[in-house]
Amino acid sequence: MNEFFIKPKIKFGIDSLDYLESLTSKKYFIVTDDSMVKLKIIDKILEKLPKNSEIDIFSEVIPNPTVETIENGLKKLIKFNPECVIALGGGSPIDACKGMLYFEKKVAEECSEKIKPFRHFIAIPTTSGTGSEVTSYSVISSGENKIALANEDMLPDIAILNPEFMKTLPPKIIADTGMDVLTHSLEAYISLKSNPFTSAMAIEAIKLIESNLLKHYKNPQELYHREKVQDASCLAGVAFNNSSLGINHSVAHTIGAKFHISHGRANAIVMPYIIQVNKNAWKEYAKISKELGYEFSTVVEGKDAFVKLVEELKKEMQIETSLSQVGVEFNEFKSKIPILIKDIKKDICTEYNPETLSDEEYVKLLLKIYFGNNDI
């Protein structure tokens, strides 16, 4: 039986934080990172919460949150025992918060009383990229590995999209997160689990990125394009939460963890090479090009038109085209190819990729990504 569902409720627009004024809980636990505190962005949340309420803040989340971070936050969450939990920040704080709530329920299920705690969960993204505010996924780092969790219990109850948070983002963050949005929507569209609902959301997200990402990158202060990229991120999140992703993410998860490359940038680096090996999806890439208004005569030309868009976006936003360009040393890379392939194949995103690759094909793909050469 197929299924499509949407959660959470989404509050959006420049006045969306006003929703916090309607809350009636007495205790609030906020999961965020140190920069949100130092830049006083968290103050925008605190000033909206009910007066005289108890508030505890866990601001120890780091990029690519670790198992240790989750454990530390979980201990503080359980001790404080809030009625409402708020995740504030980019994908890392939101994913970390999801992990804490997920493992809290796992611990509760192992207790003799089998009580599953309920926390009203609000996610407030401060970047446009991960879509984590509307997905049941959480990615946690453990050493050189990334663990992707998937459970509907991790879906927030409310997502608050406020474009004001994106006004001061550095261009590099806009580039990385924007390309993450494009990857989410693209993989949702070509996934073996795609359906008319996910495809409609994915294609709209792709159109919004194509029309607005570069303008947002070049002028973050301009509200219209900033808001449209945020809309695209959320749409793509809902789409891939229902359709799953593919090996673009599997490869990005793996090389990102092994060589310390940000997730969005890793996705952007590998994307042209993944498109070329996903031959079973070339018709879908051509359909996307048609939706974008590109002219072409054959499926291959349609696929190539989309690749050209990806390459132009990367060039304009100064994103590297290969792992060698980001400083990965070849001998280290070569020695890790067997474990890279093993991790890619077991990644949760690989299952619904339209193309199944052999180990030999993965070796060729990884070498293409390293050298930046699709002819290998």
Q: Residue 120 maps to which CATH number?
A: 3.40.50.1970
For residue 113, the model assigns a pLDDT of 57
- Nearest-5° Cα angle at 27, 24 to 31: 115
Q: Whose CA is closest to 250, among 147, 335, 142?
A: 147
* Residue 208 belongs to a domain: yes
Beta carbons of 133 and 159 less than 8 angstroms apart: yes
Q: Whose CA is closest to 131, among 161, 172, 169?
A: 161
In a shared domain, residues 192 and 315 = yes
* Residue 1 belongs to a domain: no
d(CA 255, CA 211): 29
Domain ranges, residue 17 = 9-166
Could you read off the pLDDT tens digit of each residue along the chain, which spans 376 residues? 788 888 999 999 999 999 999 999 999 999 999 999 999 999 999 999 999 999 999 999 998 899 999 999 999 999 999 999 999 999 899 999 999 999 998 877 777 555 556 799 999 999 998 899 999 989 888 877 778 888 888 999 999 999 999 988 999 999 999 999 999 999 999 999 999 999 999 999 999 999 999 999 999 999 999 999 999 999 999 999 999 999 999 999 999 999 999 999 999 999 999 999 999 999 999 999 999 999 999 999 999 999 999 999 999 999 999 999 999 999 999 999 999 999 999 999 999 999 999 999 999 999 999 999 877 7
For residue 204, the model assigns a pLDDT of 98
In a shared domain, residues 279 and 153 = no
In a shared domain, residues 342 and 237 = yes
Last residue of a domain, one of 166, 188, 208: 166
For residue 37, the model assigns a pLDDT of 95
Residue ranges with strand state E in 143-210:
145-150, 158-161
49: which residues sit within 8 A by CB, 6+ positions away?
20, 23, 28, 55
In a shared domain, residues 151 and 219 = no
Beta carbons of 53 and 28 less than 8 angstroms apart: yes
* Residue 3 belongs to a domain: no
Count of domains forming the chain = 2
In a shared domain, residues 110 and 239 = no
Last residue of a domain, one of 166, 185, 206: 166
HSE-up (13 A, CA, CB side) for residue 22: 7
In a shared domain, residues 196 and 248 = yes
The CATH number covering residue 232 comes to 1.20.1090.10
- Sheet containing strand 158-161, edge to edge, reads 9-12, 158-161, 120-125, 84-89, 27-33, 54-61
Beta carbons of 197 and 242 less than 8 angstroms apart: yes
For residue 244, the model assigns a pLDDT of 94
For residue 60, the model assigns a pLDDT of 96
Which CA distances in Å does 87 have to 48, 154, 172?
Answer: 15, 12, 23
For residue 270, the model assigns a pLDDT of 98
In a shared domain, residues 132 and 49 = yes
Which CA distances in Å does 41 have to 34, 124, 171, 215, 234?
Answer: 10, 11, 19, 24, 21
For residue 76, the model assigns a pLDDT of 96
* Residue 4 belongs to a domain: no
Radius of gyration of the chain (CA): 20
* Residue 145 belongs to a domain: yes
Which structure tokens are listed for 257?
């963890």
In a shared domain, residues 209 and 113 = no
Beta carbons of 266 and 249 less than 8 angstroms apart: no
DSSP 49: S
Which structure tokens are listed for 209?
């990125």
In a shared domain, residues 22 and 131 = yes
For residue 112, the model assigns a pLDDT of 59
In a shared domain, residues 238 and 318 = yes
How many residues in total does the chain contain? 376
In a shared domain, residues 276 and 328 = yes
Residue ranges with strand state E in 3-83:
9-12, 27-33, 54-61
φ, ψ (nearest 5 deg) of residue 205 = -65, -40
Last residue of a domain, one of 166, 183, 199: 166
In a shared domain, residues 151 and 180 = no
